């Protein structure tokens, strides 16, 4: 009887232990079954959140790039507008300078109509040169010989260039040529400064076509005009004649003067 009771107790204990173990395994399986979808869903949510974050970063970066490009484009547009404005101002200034340089002597001599041409001379220069040669000085000496016998005179000295080179540089070059001619006459023949009217016209006015070397050589010039508002007569009562030089190597030609003739505008 004791043995049977012991066996029953052992059987009951084993059964109880088995039940406990079975119940424990069932509980773990149930928990695993219930939590696995939650874990997967949580992982999916984390992945989706990370993807959304990356997308937001990408959108933000593209937006920043777009803003930067827009700002750069706006700055470039502003710069182009400023440059265009400067170019327009420079063009207007160049046009005004061209007008000023091309002005005739009438713009500085109020009573020019009372003056007539006594004589003129042309001095030709080499390419990009403004220095007077010995031959140039000889021409000017011949021209200046008439100054002593001419009353109430002025000298119009007009410098020019050919069409080669920059317009602004040619203005400067033509002015240097005119200044050197005036300086030579002033120093050697004591011509006072108020007698000179200097004009540098650069390449604005052609006396010959710049399409040929010969024409360009004629445009590299300084023209000196001796103008007087007094009628001069020689002792015999005949009107004086002035000499006109046709340029380097040219011949001297007389210019008749008449008090009845219409005043000549400087050419």
Residue of 127, 131, 129, 185 whose CA lies nearest to 156: 185
Domain ranges, ordered by start, for the chain: 1-101, 107-256
Q: What is the pLDDT of residue 110?
A: 64
Q: Is the pLDDT of residue 47 over 50?
A: yes
pLDDT tens digits, 152-172: 899 999 999 999 999 999 999
**Taking the model in full, what pTM does it have?**
0.51
For 107-256, CATH number?
3.30.1330.60
Q: Which long-range contacts (CB under 8 A, 24 or more apart) does 36-39 make?
A: none
Instruction: Please indicate whether residue 105 or residue 220 has the higher confidence score (pLDDT).
Output: 220
User: Could you give the residue ranges of the DSSP H alpha helices within 102-166?
Assistant: 134-144
* Chain segment 185-195, per-residue pLDDT in tens: 999 999 998 89
125 — phi, psi (to 5°)? Answer: -120, 155
Over residues 88-144, the pLDDT tens digits come to 666 555 555 544 454 556 666 667 778 899 999 999 999 999 999 999 999 999 999
Spatial contact of 119 and 162, defined as CB atoms under 8 Å apart: no
Contacts of 160 (CB under 8 A, 6+ apart): 174, 177, 201, 202, 203, 205, 207, 219, 220, 221, 222, 223
């Amino acid at each position: 009887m004791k043995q049977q009771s012991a066996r029953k107790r052992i059987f009951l204990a084993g059964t109880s232990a088995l039940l406990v173990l079975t119940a424990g395994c069932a509980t773990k399986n149930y928990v695993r079954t219930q939590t696995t979808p939650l874990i997967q869903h949580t992982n999916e949510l984390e992945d989706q959140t990370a993807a959304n974050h990356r997308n937001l970063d990408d959108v933000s970066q593209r937006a920043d790039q777009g803003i930067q490009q827009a700002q750069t484009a706006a700055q470039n547009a502003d710069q182009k507008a400023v440059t265009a404005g400067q170019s327009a101002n420079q063009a207007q200034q160049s046009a005004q300078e061209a007008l000023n340089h091309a002005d005739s002597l009438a713009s500085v001599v109020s009573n020019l109509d009372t003056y007539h041409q006594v004589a003129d001379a042309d001095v030709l220069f080499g390419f990009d040169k403004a220095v007077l040669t010995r031959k140039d000085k000889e021409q000017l000496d011949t021209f200046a010989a008439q100054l002593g016998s001419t009353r109430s005179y002025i000298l119009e000295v007009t410098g020019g260039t050919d069409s080669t080179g920059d317009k602004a540089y040619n203005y400067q070059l033509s002015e240097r040529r005119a200044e050197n001619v005036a300086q030579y006459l002033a120093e050697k023949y004591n011509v006072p400064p108020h007698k000179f009217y200097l004009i540098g016209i650069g390449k604005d006015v052609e006396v010959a076509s710049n399409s040929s070397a010969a024409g360009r050589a004629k445009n590299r010039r300084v023209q000196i005009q001796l103008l007087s508002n007094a009628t001069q007569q020689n002792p015999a009562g005949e009107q004086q004649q002035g000499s006109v030089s046709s340029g380097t190597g040219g011949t001297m030609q007389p210019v008749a003067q008449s008090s009845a003739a219409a005043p000549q505008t400087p050419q």
